[in-house]
Amino acid sequence: MKNEVLIVGGGVAGCAAAIALARNGRAVTLFERETTPRHKVCGEFLSGEALEDLHALGIDVSTLGAVPLEYVRLAAARRAAEAPLPFKAASLTRKSLDTALIAGTITAGVRVVRGQSVKSLDRKTTGLWQATLEDGTSFEAPTAFLATGKHDLRGHGRPKDPHQWVAFKMYYQLSPAQTAELKGASELTLYSGGYGGIQPVEEGLANFCCVVKQPYFARAGLRWEGLIARMQQDCPHLAMRLAGAEPQLDKPIAITHIPYGFLRRTTDEGLYCIGDQAAVIPSFTGDGISIALHTARRAVASFIASESAPAFQAKLRSAMLPQMRLAEAAANGLNNPLARAILPFCLRVWPGAMRVTARLTRVTQPAAPVPQAFAN
């Protein structure tokens, strides 16, 4: 098979782009370094936009065991307040979502090469993109999509994270009383060094995912046990939620160096950067998956319309800039002690604040033509 497009990374953005391209008759090879999907650090919140895009790709999350979410609760110190979510939302483990996406990619007719990392992606003097795997095998095509998520490929790196964020995810079995309290809710808990989200996911589990600055983690002794104790001290609401909870993983999954606020400025001819390789929005928005799907959809539309990759990347950047900057400003607010103290109070007296923030920090839909896979 003669490749038209190589896609590096078989997560949300890579699979979404692969399915859309294959449904539009393109010969695609996708590379995914894992043999089977694994747990990933993610709050696993699926926004309304994400649900719509997944549906258009043939993925109905309700059949995969997704849990509907109806409201958001904000807790800082001893205060908590809640507001209804202004859109349909759900939660689903990344393992289930990534499994469905890879299955959909194979069904769409994409050649999927799994179990090896792409070591390099270079543009040859012929103008073709060449992806070279760990075992030295290489593949060539005129176009490549870079969708490696948080992993940077040599020569295509993103800037360093100046704040040294550290993120963790742990599944808990909550006590029956706390499971009932959390039903239908996505809870955001705030600390002096970051924030965390807790929400129900399938099979009666709760996902607790947090992001903290490195000095806060250091003051907790650079150990998970110290960190979770410190966060519960900072936010007694979290302590209440986790009382009697049983951790379901031997140790939390962790990642470091998350370049929040990154928006790729430019790219090379024939190379479309999507997902976290295009933009990294602060995690509290719960919008990263939606952005991964959105950037995949726009990149495929641009490729099909024969728009150049640098033009695509520049347009994407200017379309996303306002939402990204607003989300960053809101994230800074969450890290400000005064804002943290008054936020739940504000939400109680003005519940619309959460709805407004949720709307403003979401990505606006593009005017670009919609590729076939997303057009149902």
Ligand X SMILES: Cc1cc2nc3c(=O)[nH]c(=O)nc-3n(C[C@H](O)[C@H](O)[C@H](O)COP(=O)(O)OP(=O)(O)OC[C@H]3O[C@@H](n4cnc5c(N)ncnc54)[C@H](O)[C@@H]3O)c2cc1C
Which has the closest alpha carbon to 38: 83, 93, 87, 1?
A: 93
Contact 265, 317 (CB under 8 A): yes
187 lines the binding site for ligand X (CB under 6 A): no
Q: Which is nearer to ligand X, 39 or 315 (CB)?
A: 39
Query: Mask of contacts with ligand X, 36-65, x by CB under 6 A?
Result: ----xxxxxx----x---------------
Rounded distance between C-alpha atoms, residue 106 and residue 118, angstroms:
19
Using rule CB under 6 A, residue 211 touches ligand X? yes
- Choose, by CB under 6 A, the member of 32, 49, 187, 202 that binds ligand X: 32
Cβ-count burial of 107 within 10 angstroms (0-12 exposed, 13-18 middle, 19+ buried)? exposed
Cβ closest to ligand X, residue 132 vs residue 175:
132
Min dist CB 296 to ligand X, Å, is 8
Q: Look up residue 115 and give its amino acid.
A: G
Shortest distance, position 295 Cβ to ligand X, whole Å: 8
Q: How far is the CB of 349 from ligand X (least distance, A)?
A: 27
Residue type, 285: T
Residues that bind ligand X (rule: CB under 6 A) add up to a total of 39
Of residues 7, 8, 75, 201, which one binds ligand X by CB under 6 A?
8
Residue 5 beta carbon to ligand X: minimum distance, rounded to whole angstroms: 15
φ/ψ of 312, rounded to 5, equals: -60, -50
Kindly identify the residues of this chain, within the stretch 251-290, that bind ligand X according to CB under 6 A: 258, 275-276, 283, 286-290
Cβ distance to ligand X smaller for residue 275 or 344: 275
Which of 114, 118, 109 is closest to 98 using CA atoms?
114
CA 352 to chain centre: 25
Residue nearest to ligand X as judged by C-beta position? 11
Out of 4, 34, 140, 268, point to the residue binding ligand X (CB under 6 A).
Answer: 34
**Quick one: 30 or 347, whose CB is closer to ligand X?**
30
**Segment 73 to 132, residues that bind ligand X, using CB under 6 A:** 117-118
Whole-angstrom distance, CA of residue 348 vs CA of residue 329: 21
Count each helix (H run) and each strand (E run) in the chain, helices first: 11, 17
Please give the sequence-ordered ranges of beta strands (E in DSSP) within the chain, or none if there are none: 5-8, 28-32, 45-46, 67-76, 79-91, 111-114, 118-123, 129-133, 138-141, 143-146, 165-173, 185-191, 194-200, 206-213, 246-247, 253-256, 271-273
Binding mask 163-182 toward ligand X (x if CB under 6 A, else -) reads ----x---------------
Task: Report the interface residues with ligand X, using CB under 6 A.
Answer: 8-14, 31-34, 40-45, 50, 117-118, 147-151, 153, 167, 209, 211, 258, 275-276, 283, 286-290, 292
